[in-house]
Amino acid sequence: MLGQRRKLILIAVMNLQQLFVMCLFLITLITTVSSLTQEQENDRITALPGQPAVEFSQFSGYVTVHKKHGRGLFYWLTEAVNPQDKPLVLWLNGGPGCSSIAYGASEEIGPFRIHKNASSLYLNKYSWNLEANILFLESPAGVGFSYTNTSTELRNSGDKRTARDALKFLKEWMTRFPQYKNRDFYISGESYAGHYVPQLAKKIHNYNKNHPGSFINLKGFIVGNAVTDNQYDNIGTVDYWWSHSIISDTAYKSIKSSCNFKSTKYTEKCDNAIDYAWNNEFGEIDQYSIYTPSCNKSSVNVTSTRLKNSLMRRRVSGYDPCIEKNAEKYFNRPEVQQAMHANNTGIAYKWTACSDELLENWKDSQFSMLPTYKKLIAAGYRIWVFSGDTDSVVPVTATRMSLSHLDLTVKTPWYPWYSKGQVAGWTEVYEGLTFATVRGAGHEVPLFQPKRAFLLFQRFLAGKNLPKS
């Protein structure tokens, strides 16, 4: 009888403890909600059409970065479940001219994937917002829902304005979301964001030195299959084509002897050598993922402009080679735009994954990012560069050749890293930079190898080397 009474008392105590924990949770939730400003509430996404139930908050909307010219950048914040305990990570896609919502958010690291019917969403179990608050930015103006009221700006955009506008966006956005002002902050991205990410990091670094009172707590950045240096990237790219049997010995020798990759302009002989290989030897492959099926003939529309000026355009890739079409259907739906507070200015063109107008009219492109890397390494930022090894557009050989010219001291020599008992790639740790390959991944690493990319991201945030076993 006495034992039964003790059991009843124990159950009662446990119930009280559970009630106490629940009350604390409700108090925290109420405090968090009540602390949101009206501007934040205006940007809150209640739910996207066809969205499964989630426990995290979402916000999206516009931040004006140039009032006179009418430039507004569109963002989408997918918070972590406990946002106050997690860092803030900005994600940028490249192109130049491609949407971070079409690719980063919808195919790679975001919490949702779009069903083929483009009417509903399903969860990505390797979403990066499990580890951080992820801020997707459509940049520069003219990409996706981001806009400019000065139409000529679509034909004279470039690296410098993009970096200036991104810094302006961050300052204004953190004024709207002051809870993130002093949060640990990282920048991430891929492809031509190999320019955007370090350029923005440098802008923030210089801004912090000159404005200590409005400090942005930048800790570092991580970029994948990143455009780094025109000369070394291009040499490494041609080497990849040859070493992976995409082009012949004859074409390889012709390109190497005809092209001066130190130059910003190539001769007609060089152009002809590249065009011959492209048109006669490549075949109908997905150049962003050479071992997976391509979408169809009409979708593979990459030209030798990529090699000539290192301006890349991602067309199709992934296990579903036509996956970007899902995004173009979904984000053009009026009810989706309404839920996301998007296109409220009535953009005169259809939402697309990439802007041809921006790509074809890019006005400035930094020839090499290596001097920027050197400055940021000297400043002590955490820098990781990763590379999917089945991408022929910004291949692993290009990235390795570019980074080798930083002449960094090796801390941890080259070794295989593991996930689920399998080699997930290879890595080498230098003084000031970590490089890693991701085995079996194309240009969009988190699309092809989501678990490996997620582990890579976890280790980056933790500042830990990739696992050796």
Task: Tell me the C-alpha distance between 107 and 317, whole Å.
Answer: 10
Q: Considering Cα of 412, then 108, then 147, then 67, what sign does the dihedral take?
A: negative
Residue in 455, 451, 444 with CA at minimum distance from that of residue 103: 444
Q: What is the pLDDT of residue 279?
A: 93
**How many beta carbons lie within 10 A of that of residue 203, not counting itself?**
19
Q: List the structure tokens of 67.
A: 């009032």
Residue in 292, 290, 319, 295 with CA at minimum distance from that of residue 391: 290
Range list of β-strands (E), 27-184:
58-66, 71-78, 88-92, 112-114, 121-123, 133-138, 147-148
Number of domains observed in the structure of the chain: 2
Q: What is the 3-state secondary structure (H, E, C) of 31-46?
A: HHHHCCCHHHHHHECC
- pLDDT category at 443 given cuts 50, 70, 90 is very high
Strand (E) or helix (H) holding 129: none
Which of 252, 282, 312 finishes a domain? 312
Task: Tell me the C-alpha distance between 197 and 268, whole Å.
Answer: 33
Does 148 map to a domain? no
Does 371 map to a domain? no
Residue in 332, 361, 340, 336 with CA at minimum distance from that of residue 74: 340
User: What does R_g of the chain's alpha carbons equal in angstroms?
Assistant: 24
Average pLDDT over residues 54-82: 95
Q: List the structure tokens of 1.
A: 């009888």
Helix, strand, coil shares of the chain as percentages rounded to 5?
Answer: 40, 20, 40
Does 49 map to a domain? no
Q: Read off the pLDDT of residues 235-250 as tens digits, 9 standing for 90 and up.
A: 999 999 999 999 999 9
Number of Cα atoms under 13 Å in the Cβ half of residue 399: 29
CB burial of residue 247 (10 Å; 0-12, 13-18, 19+): buried
**DSSP characters over 314-374:** ----SSSTTTHHHHHHHTTSHHHHHHTT-STT--SS---SB-HHHHHT-----SBSHHHHH
Strand (E) or helix (H) holding 441: none
Q: What is the pLDDT of residue 18?
A: 52
Average pLDDT over residues 298-316: 37
Q: Considering Cα of 375, then 378, then 381, then 386, what sign does the dihedral take?
A: positive
- pLDDT category at 469 given cuts 50, 70, 90 is confident
Residue type, 329: K
Does 221 map to a domain? no
Catalytic amino acids? 191, 391, 443
Average pLDDT over residues 138-154: 92
Residue in 348, 343, 268, 336 with CA at minimum distance from that of residue 308: 268
| Residue 233, helix vs strand vs coil | helix
Does 28 map to a domain? yes
The proportion of the chain whose per-residue pLDDT surpasses 70, expressed as a percent, equals 87
Which of 255, 278, 312 finishes a domain? 312
The proportion of the chain whose per-residue pLDDT surpasses 90, expressed as a percent, equals 76
Does 31 map to a domain? yes
* Res 5 pLDDT > 60: no
Task: Tell me the C-alpha distance between 14 and 425, whole Å.
Answer: 47
Domain boundaries, position 6: 2-35
Is 16 or 373 the better-scoring residue by pLDDT?
373
Q: What is the pLDDT of residue 115?
A: 93
Average pLDDT over residues 64-85: 94
Q: What is the pLDDT of residue 304?
A: 41
Could you tell me whether strands 218-224 and 121-123 are parallel, antiparallel, or unpaired per DSSP bridges? unpaired
Does 438 map to a domain? no
Residue type, 308: K
Q: Read off the pLDDT of residues 349-394 as tens digits, 9 standing for 90 and up.
A: 889 999 999 989 998 999 999 999 999 999 999 999 999 999 999 9
* Res 311 pLDDT > 70: no
Which of 290, 312, 334 finishes a domain? 312
Does 256 map to a domain? yes
Task: Tell me the C-alpha distance between 247 and 120, whole Å.
Answer: 42
Question: Chain-wide mean pLDDT for the chain?
Answer: 88
